[in-house]
């Protein structure tokens, strides 16, 4: 349906068709308005009859995704940059119905000549999600998702950069010399809480609970709020901040913090240390301090044990110190971790402890564990070295995993971390 009406000295033409966005335009004469209506009406009818995938390109899809989806994300700045850069590629002008695995793999190989594998994987992940939204919510793309069907490049090892001896002192001196008085507190707070830079800068005083010594992280990367307990040093950081009337805790922008960090690195001549590495350092320190993985996850916000293990990098010195201290550990659940004990002795201790957990009239004997005595003895040593007591629940869980995996004790225990510890933490949160 088209209407043409006179508005002042001009003629306004408006076209409305079902399932099509309305269009309007003003003209100096009625004849010009009628001519425009005829042309545009035909175009809109043709577009309506054309399959949606044929009417859109990757560029139009990504622009809509950027404006409607990315704009609501906490990572909108980075993802907007990725999309805007992609829009300059020739590949962006490809109609959706022509996009297939061959097109994507060709782009992948070309892009790998100029960027790292990790960069490309992140870009393709964004494009894959965009295509899924366009398929299932907008109805303008087709199945299957071509970005899900291509082989991704292998990413190298994850960063394991930690602070080296003397580096924090250099950073502290340089940070205190910055004009913005919040640079140094932010750095220390990151080391004491595992919070990301954006999470720290988003904190408000209403998120801080002095009575319970906690802060609530309301804008995390994974969109799951969490309450983070504060160390005494983190508490002192907050209490010593300048008395300024502001809802924000740290009065510094992301850009200013980034620039300050770059100046600090330049002044101290520290190489290959990112601000985000402070999060790695903090997680590793908590692990070295003896916190369990669920406890560290509560602080860091990790919901996947595998991700957490990538961040936790105990130093070899710390591990060797624990080995040295094992001789002095007290017995736990009747099991003495002293390495002088033989597997048989450890096994008998487990049996004795297990015996007390059974209902009256039921007994455990050697036949109940059979050849698994040596496996259990090794598990006891490993668990004790990590500060984890061996109890009846863990005995049963480890045996089940051993029967399922038929793997080495250390590998079974890693799976136990992944499958049991985090499940226990989730159930605690539900309760």
Residue 126 lies in a domain: yes
Position 325 scores a pLDDT of: 54
Q: Give the end of a domain, one of 121, 148, 175.
A: 148
Number of structural domains (the chain) is 4
Domain co-membership, 404 together with 346: yes
- Rounded to the nearest angstrom, the gap between the alpha carbon of residue 282 and the centroid of all alpha carbons in its chain is 16
Looking at the fold, whether 217 and 242 belong to one and the same domain comes out as yes
The answer on 95 and 228 residing in a single domain is: no
Q: pLDDT by residue for the chain (431 residues), tens digit each? A: 678 888 888 888 888 876 666 788 888 888 888 888 887 877 766 655 445 555 688 999 899 999 888 887 767 888 899 999 999 988 898 888 888 889 899 999 999 999 888 888 889 999 999 999 988 888 888 888 999 888 888 766 567 788 888 999 999 999 999 999 999 999 999 999 989 898 999 999 999 998 888 999 886 666 678 888 899 999 999 999 987 778 999 999 999 999 999 999 999 999 989 999 999 899 888 877 777 777 888 788 876 666 666 656 566 666 656 555 544 444 434 444 444 344 445 555 555 555 555 555 555 444 454 455 566 666 666 666 656 666 656 666 666 666 666 666 666 666 666 655 555 444 545 44
Cis peptide before 144, with omega less than 30 degrees from 0?
yes
Q: Which of 142, 64, 62, 60 is nearest to 101 (CA)?
A: 142
The answer on 64 and 38 residing in a single domain is no
| Pair 251, 385 in one domain | no
Domain-located, residue 387: yes
Tell me the C-alpha distance between 113 and 270, whole Å: 29
Q: Sign of torsion, CA 317 323 324 325?
A: positive
Query: How do residues 2-41 score in pLDDT, each as one tens digit?
Result: 788 888 888 888 888 766 667 888 888 888 888 888 878 7
Domain-embedded: residue 132: yes
Domain span at residue 36 reads 2-46
Residue entry with tokens 């936790």: 312
Q: Among residues 265, 289, 311, which one ends one of the domains?
A: 311
> Is 239 found in the same domain as 306?
yes
Do both 300 and 189 map to the same domain?
yes
Instruction: Pull the structure tokens for residue 323.
Output: 């080995």
Which pair of structure tokens corresponds to residue 173? 């001196």
Asked whether residue 304 falls in the same domain as residue 343, the answer is no
Q: Assess whether 213 and 327 both reside in one domain.
A: no
pLDDT digits (tens, 9 = 90+) for 147-199: 988 888 876 656 778 888 899 999 999 999 999 999 999 999 999 998 989 89
The Cα–Cα gap between 47 and 41 comes to 10
Phi, psi at 338, each rounded to 5°: -55, 125
- Return the pLDDT at 23: 80
Same domain, 252 and 212: yes
How many Å apart are CA 14 and CA 355, to the nearest integer? Answer: 86
157 part of a folded domain: no
* Domain identity same for 377 and 408: yes
H-only helix segments in 88-225: 101-111, 117-133, 167-176, 183-193, 197-201
Domain assignment present for residue 92? The answer is: yes
pLDDT for res 330: 43
162: in domain: no
pLDDT for res 36: 82
Judgement on whether residues 81 and 127 belong to the same structural domain of the protein: yes
Q: How many residues does the chain have?
A: 431
Q: Give a yes or no: residue 183 inside a domain.
A: yes
Indicate the angle between helix axes 422-430 and 293-300, nearest 10 degrees. 60
State the pLDDT at residue 96: 85
Helix (H), strand (E) at residue 252:
none
Picking from 281, 311, 341, the residue at the C-terminal end of a domain is: 311
As a whole number of angstroms, the distance between CA 40 and CA 21 comes to 12
Instruction: Give residue 174's pLDDT.
Output: 95
| 77-111: pLDDT as tens digits | 888 999 999 999 888 988 888 888 898 999 999 99
Domain annotation covers residue 161? no
Q: Do the Cβ atoms of 373 and 347 come closer than 8 Å?
A: yes
pLDDT at 353: 56
State the CATH number of the domain containing residue 192.
1.10.443.10
pLDDT value at position 327?
A: 47
């Amino acid at each position: 349906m088209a209407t043409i009406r006179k508005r002042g000295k001009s003629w306004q033409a408006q076209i409305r068709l079902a399932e099509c966005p309305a269009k309007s335009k003003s003209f100096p004469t009625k004849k010009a308005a009628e001519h425009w209506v005829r042309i545009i009406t035909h175009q809109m009818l043709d577009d309506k009859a054309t399959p949606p995938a044929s009417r859109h390109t990757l560029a139009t899809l990504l622009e809509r995704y950027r404006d409607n989806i990315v704009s609501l994300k906490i990572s909108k700045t980075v993802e907007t940059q990725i999309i805007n850069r992609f829009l300059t590629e020739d590949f962006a002008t490809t109609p959706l119905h022509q996009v297939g695995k061959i097109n994507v793999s060709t782009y992948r190989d070309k892009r790998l000549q100029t960027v790292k594998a990790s960069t490309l994987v992140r870009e393709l992940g964004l494009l894959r999600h965009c295509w899924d939204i366009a398929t299932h919510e907008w109805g303008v793309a087709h199945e299957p998702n071509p970005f899900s069907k291509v082989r991704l490049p292998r990413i190298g090892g994850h960063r394991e950069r930690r602070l080296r001896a003397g580096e924090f002192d250099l950073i502290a001196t340089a940070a205190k010399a910055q004009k913005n008085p919040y640079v140094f507190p932010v750095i220390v707070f990151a080391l004491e809480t595992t919070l990301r830079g954006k999470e720290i800068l988003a904190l408000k005083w209403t998120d801080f609970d002095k009575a319970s010594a906690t802060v609530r992280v309301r804008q995390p990367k994974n969109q799951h709020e969490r309450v983070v307990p504060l160390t005494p040093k983190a508490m002192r950081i907050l209490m010593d901040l300048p008395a300024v009337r502001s809802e924000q805790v740290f009065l510094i922008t992301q850009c200013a913090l980034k620039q300050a960090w770059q100046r600090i690195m330049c002044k101290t001549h520290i190489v290959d240390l990112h601000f985000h590495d402070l999060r790695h350092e903090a997680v590793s320190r908590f692990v070295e301090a003896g916190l369990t993985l669920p406890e560290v996850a509560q602080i860091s916000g990790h919901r996947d044990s595998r991700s957490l293990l990538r961040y936790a990098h105990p130093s070899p010195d710390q591990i060797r110190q624990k080995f040295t201290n094992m001789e002095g550990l007290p017995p736990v659940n009747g099991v003495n971790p002293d390495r002088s004990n033989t597997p048989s002795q450890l096994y008998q201790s487990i049996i004795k402890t297990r015996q007390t957990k059974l209902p009256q009239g039921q007994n455990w004997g050697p036949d109940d564990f059979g050849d698994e005595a040596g496996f259990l003895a090794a598990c006891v040593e490993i668990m004790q070295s990590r500060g984890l007591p061996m109890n009846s629940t863990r005995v049963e869980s480890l045996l089940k995993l051993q029967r399922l995996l038929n793997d080495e004790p250390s590998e079974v225990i890693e799976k136990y971390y992944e499958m049991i510890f985090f499940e226990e933490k989730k159930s605690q949160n539900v309760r």
